[in-house]
Amino acid sequence: MSHRISLGLVGARGHVGAELIKLVVAHPCFELAFVSSRERDGQRLADHEPTYAGGLRYANLDPTAVAGQGVDALVLALPNGMAATFVAALDAARADPVVVDLSADYRFDDGWYYGLPELNRGVADGARRISNPGCYATAMQLALAPLRDALAGPAQCFGVSGYSGAGTGPSDKNDPDKLRDNLMPYALVDHVHEREVTRQLGHVVEFMPHVAPHFRGITLTANMHLERAFDRDEVLARFRDAYADEPLVDVLDAAPWVSRIAGRHGAEVGGFTLSADGRRLVVVSTLDNLLKGAATQALQNLNRAFGLPETMGIDT
């Protein structure tokens, strides 16, 4: 590509925004055009992100101002419920950048591409409005998808995330003192990622999330009841076939550890354990909630949207 692709980021102060800035700065084709943050308005980006050496400053841009920036790509890294005003401003201005929304706001909208490339790559062509999957939802789908046609009854998923998943706004779920020596359950029924995965897989999923004292990384344990008996070799073959050509998904024999995935761009799936009758399977998946669960996946989707190799700028 002969020209640099301009990219704007709204919600640049958050953990995911910081990770995406690092990826864009190192990318051979994208360049940061603006970074918007209310709290850091006027501050130098380089003072907060050491990988950035340019002169950009954070700006507090409202939706109309964002729509007028004329960027090629726009990433919305905002809390749930805040994306619609920016999308409406783009429509009003007849601006048509590629938009990647990292919140849950458009994950249930058929007009947006649901950007989990490993499962939905075939329907991505020409997508300009992309809804990035949730971090837990990505881990759940990678654990369940290879056997979705054999599932009987709801699949139960027990998830544990590092506290970066709770964002930067102060709460019990990201308070290191309250989390120390603790495991904090929350939203034990009807979590948005439960509904998201149920919709995407077309099968009921029951999800129980928890927050742990570590900063980053998800461990997701999926319990599946199966319509027929499987043996372990058949299960392994299913997963290895499903992800054989996926550079960001590794299928392991043993159960993956969250400590090994922190700071890495991919996901690991393993620990395949069957009941004696072969009709109950437990699978463990791990990923970094800030990377494959958010920023890395956003970059996969951006690369595809601009006809670039999907893993360009992603160290696999």
Three-class DSSP labels, the chain: CCCCEEEEEECCCCHHHHHHHHHHHHCCCEEEEEEECCCCCCCEHHHHCCCCCCCCEEECCCHHHHHCCCCCEEEECCCCCCHHHHHHHHHHCCCCCEEEECCCCCCCCCCCEECCHHHHHHHCCCCCEEECCCHHHHHHHHHHHHHHHHECCCEEEEEEECHHHHCCCCCHHHCHHHHCCCCEECCCCCCHHHHHHHHHHCCCEEEEEEECCCCCCEEEEEEEEECCCCCHHHHHHHHHHHHCCCCCEEECCCCCCHHHHCCCCCEEEEEEEECCCCCEEEEEEEECCCHHHHHHHHHHHHHHHCCCCCCCCCCC
Residues with Cβ within 8 Å of 61's Cβ and at least 6 positions away in sequence, in order, are 10, 34, 36, 69
299 burial level (CB within 10 Å; 0-12, 13-18, 19+) = buried
The pLDDT value recorded for residue 3 is: 78
Going by pLDDT thresholds of 50, 70 and 90, the confidence category of residue 166 is confident
Do 281 and 143 meet the contact criterion of CB atoms below 8 Å apart? no
Rg of the chain in Å (alpha carbons): 20
Bridge partners, residue 74, by sequence = 8, 99
pLDDT band at 316 (very low <50, low <70, confident <90, very high): confident
Find tokens 């109950």 and name the residue: 280
Of 5, 20, 23, 135, the active-site residue reads 135
| Confidence (pLDDT) at 168 | 66
Q: Which of 119, 291, 152, 277 is nearest to 217 (CA)?
A: 291
Give the pLDDT of residue 173.
84
pLDDT digits (tens, 9 = 90+) for 66-109: 999 999 999 999 999 999 999 999 999 999 999 999 999 999 99
| Residue 122: predicted pLDDT | 79
pLDDT at 12 over 90: no
Residue spans in the chain of domains classed CATH 3.40.50.720: 5-133+293-305
Report the pLDDT value the prediction gives residue 285, as an integer from 0 to 100.
98
Mean pLDDT of 118-136: 90
Catalytic residue status for 135: yes
pLDDT surpasses 70 at 137: yes
**pLDDT for res 203:** 98
Q: Assign residue 307 a region: left if phi > 0, alpha if psi is -120 to 50, beta otherwise?
A: left
Looking at the domain covering 135-289, what would its CATH class be? Answer: alpha beta
Q: Note the pTM of the prediction, 2 decimals.
A: 0.95
- pLDDT at residue 123 tops 80: no
Delimiting residues of CATH 3.30.360.10 domain(s) in the chain: 135-289
Mean pLDDT of the region 274-280:
98
How many residues are listed for the chain in this entry? 316
**pLDDT > 70: percent of the chain:** 98
Q: Is the pLDDT of residue 1 over 60?
A: no
What average pLDDT does this structure show over 45-71? 96
CATH topology of domain 5-133+293-305: Rossmann fold (3.40.50)
User: How far lies 125's CA from each of 9, 120, 121, 142, 175, in Å?
Assistant: 23, 10, 8, 21, 42
Quick one: average pLDDT of 14-38?
96
Q: Which of 82, 203, 94, 66 is nearest to 143 (CA)?
A: 203
Q: Check pLDDT > 60 for residue 311.
A: yes
Whether 2 shows a pLDDT value over 60: the answer reads no
